Structures are given as C-alpha cells and as structure tokens.
C-alpha cells in the first residue's frame, strides 16, 4: 500500500498547480519510505493514515533537500542531488514548498497528530544545527552525539510511530520508544557504513564523515581506547582530507580496538529492545522491520 502514499504525495504536489514544481518533484529519488512504511504497518490504510504518511515523507524529502545544500553533497541515493543539477536556490525552495504544503495538510488530520509531527520538525532542525556546529570541533562526548542523532534522525521516526499509534488508538508511548530506538540505530549504522563500506573509486572506505569534521560513535569509542600520543594523532587528522597512509592508520586502530564491533553492538542493543517491544504487542511486521535493519554485513 505504499503506492497509495506515492499517489497522495503526487496529488498534494499537483494541488499546487505548478508544472515546474511537479517536474522537479518527479526527479527526486523516492528512497525506502521507512517512515511511511512504519505508519501504515501501525495504523492501516485509512485516508488519514495515508495522508499522514504522505505528509511525513514530504517533510523528510524537504529535510534531505536542505541537508544536501548544507552538506554541499553532490549525490543522493547514488544519483546527482537536486542541488548539484539545479543549484542550491532551487533545492532550498523545493524543500520549502514540500515542507509548507505538508504543514498545510497536517492541519486537516488532528491537533494531536499535528503537534507530534510539528514538534519533531523543530527537533530535526535543532539536530541539524547541532550536527553542523559539532563538526567544527573534535567532539569526544558520546551523550552529545546521541542527543544530536536523536534530534536529527530519530525524532521524526519516533513521531511517525507516535502519530500512527494515535490514529490507530494504540499505546503511543510504546510505539514512540520503538521509533526512537529504530531511528537511533539507523543513524548509528549509517555512520558505521561510512567506515566499513568500500568507496567505488578507492576500493576502501573514504571516511568522509571524519574528513568533514564529524566524530561519529566509532571515532568517540576509538578516542576512548587510544593512548595519549595516539589520541593527539587522531585529533590532528580530524576535519581534513586524509591521505592513504593516514586512512590506513585510522582503520588499523579501529580494527585493533574492535571499534566496529563495539559500535555495532550499541545499535543492536537498541534494535533488540525495539523487537522485544513489538513482539509483546504482537506486531510481527514491525519487529521484522527492526530485524532487517541490523541483519546485514559490516
Ligand atoms: C541527514 O543527515 C539529515 C537529516 C536526517 C535531517 C536534516 C534536517 C534539516 C535540514 C532541518 C529540517 C528542515 C526541513 C525543511 C524540514 P546526514 O547528513 O547525516 O545524512 P545523509 O548521509 O543522508 O546526508
Ligand atoms: Mg547529509
């Protein structure tokens, strides 16, 4: 039933009566639609549910349009990003259009659903700002990292699950914990993949995040494990382009201190808690979504 959500987004965009905007929207890659999937699995396929899922995906798409401008990213889902093709101004404005139309439609759902979603968008923006500020320094504080990824990524997934529970008359808090854990684990895994997946050109990880100044969980754990001299070395490599030798040093240190394993376990713990909660509720499909997230190679 995800196709009903796609059609609803297309209809919301068509309501705007602007051919340019419709053609730009059609060029956006659709993505996994994780948030919409959760909403439908929790609340079924009634009209308000499909609308809520469409609104959340429009907000999410808007946030990625803005994020690619902020990150100066030239690819999104392995294709040129919209800002790379049409420039930053177009990407920002398409984001604003999707976001504001989503908010307009949110008014037609219910005050409680509107509150939960709009609050998450504030969190999303606070998290993005924190992510940018943190990349200017070497952050070695795990709590600060967790707060940032909660705001930047988990808040909208948590709110999606909460809004769906409200629509379905299910216990909101339980579903919100599920969404929160899923969101945190999702971002932790995304951060881990920056270290473990081979870049196509070099045949080895590019460690983009660290070069951009982002000390994600594996770097925080590595820093904790290193002796004073190596700590200084890691700090000296932060926030700049690394040569092959420097990259290899980081990867070897990570291997030696079992950092990927440690970070993976942290994500796995959150997922196991999410699975447990959903199994208690008899929500097989939702525990399945959580399982899929963690069952992959690193
Ligand atoms: C991706 O992070 C970014 C987010 C999940 C949130 C971005 C939020 C905003 C720009 C603020 C909200 C704005 C609107 C219009 C609702 P990432 O850069 O770590 O991940 P990536 O690898 O997918 O780029
Ligand atoms: Mg980004």
Atom of ligand 1 nearest to the CA of 73: 24
Give yes or no for a contact between 175 and 165, defined as CB atoms under 8 angstroms apart.
yes
- Give the binding-site residues of ligand 1, using a 6 Å CB cut-off: 59, 62-63, 66-67, 71, 73, 95, 99, 121, 124-125, 128, 152-153
pLDDT at 298: 60
Indicate the CATH number for domain 111-298: 1.10.600.10
Delimit the CATH 1.10.600.10 region(s) of the chain: 1-109, 111-298
Give yes or no for a contact between 86 and 27, defined as CB atoms under 8 angstroms apart.
no
Q: Ligand 2 centroid vs 67 CA: distance in angstroms?
A: 5
- Where do runs of H (alpha helix) occur along 71-198? 82-86, 88-106, 111-134, 142-149, 155-168, 172-196
Q: Tell me if residue 282 falls in helix, strand or coil.
A: coil
pLDDT at 272: 97
- Paired with 79 in beta bridges are 76
Phi, psi of 75, deg, nearest 5:
-130, 150
CATH number for 1-109: choose from 3.10.180.10, 3.30.160.620, 1.10.150.120, 1.10.600.10: 1.10.600.10
Which residue pairs from 262-265 have beta carbons closer than 8 angstroms and sit at least 24 positions apart in sequence? 262/218, 262/221, 263/188, 263/191, 263/192, 263/217, 263/218, 263/221, 264/189, 264/192, 264/298
Residue in 69, 88, 128 to alter for ligand 1 test, most ligand atoms within 8 A of Cβ: 128
**CB count, 10 Å around CB of 38?**
24
d(CA 234, CA 249): 9
d(CA 64, CA 73): 10
Atom of ligand 1 nearest to the CA of 66: 10
**Whose Cα sits closest to atom 4 in ligand 1?**
152
Give yes or no for a contact between 53 and 40, defined as CB atoms under 8 angstroms apart.
yes
**CB count, 10 Å around CB of 185?**
27
Q: Ligand 1 centroid vs 276 CA: distance in angstroms?
A: 29
Give yes or no for a contact between 204 and 194, defined as CB atoms under 8 angstroms apart.
no
Residue of 168, 184, 169 whose CA lies nearest to 123: 184
Prediction pTM value: 0.95
pLDDT tens, position by position, for the chain (298 residues)?
A: 899 999 999 999 999 999 999 999 999 999 999 999 999 999 999 999 999 999 999 999 999 999 999 999 999 988 999 999 999 999 999 999 999 999 999 999 999 999 999 999 999 999 999 999 999 999 999 999 999 999 999 999 999 999 999 999 999 999 999 999 999 999 999 999 999 987 665 555 679 999 999 999 999 999 999 999 999 999 999 999 999 999 999 999 999 999 999 999 999 999 999 999 999 999 999 999 999 988 866 6
The distance in angstroms from the start CA to the end CA of the chain is 31
């Amino acid at each position: 039933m995800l196709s009903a959500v796609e059609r609803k987004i297309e209809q919301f965009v068509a309501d705007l009566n602007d051919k340019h905007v419709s053609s730009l929207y059609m060029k956006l890659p659709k993505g996994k639609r994780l948030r919409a999937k959760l909403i439908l699995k929790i609340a079924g396929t009634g009209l308000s549910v499909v609308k809520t899922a469409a609104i959340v995906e429009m907000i999410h798409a808007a946030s990625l349009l803005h994020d690619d401008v902020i990150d100066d990213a030239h690819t999104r889902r392995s294709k040129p990003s919209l800002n790379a093709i049409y420039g930053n101004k177009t990407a920002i404005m398409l984001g604003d259009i999707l976001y504001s139309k989503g908010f307009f439609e949110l008014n037609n759902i219910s005050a409680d659903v509107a509150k939960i979603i709009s609050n998450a968008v504030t969190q999303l923006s606070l998290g993005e700002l924190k992510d940018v500020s943190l990349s200017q320094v070497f952050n070695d504080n795990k709590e600060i990292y967790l707060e940032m990824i909660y705001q930047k990524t988990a808040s909208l997934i948590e709110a999606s699950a909460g809004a769906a529970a409200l629509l379905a008359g299910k216990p909101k808090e339980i579903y919100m914990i599920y969404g929160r854990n899923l969101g945190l684990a999702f971002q932790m895994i995304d951060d881990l993949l920056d270290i473990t997946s081979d870049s196509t050109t070099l045949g080895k990880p590019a460690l983009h995040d660290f070069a951009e100044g982002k000390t994600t969980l594996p770097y925080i754990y590595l820093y904790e494990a290193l002796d004073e001299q190596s700590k200084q070395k890691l700090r000296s490599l932060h926030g700049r382009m690394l040569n092959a030798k420097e990259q290899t040093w980081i990867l070897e240190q990570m291997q030696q201190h079992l950092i990927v394993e440690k970070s993976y376990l942290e994500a796995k713990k959150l997922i196991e808690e999410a699975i447990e909660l959903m199994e208690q509720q008899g929500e097989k499909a939702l525990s399945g979504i959580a399982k899929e997230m963690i069952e992959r190679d690193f």
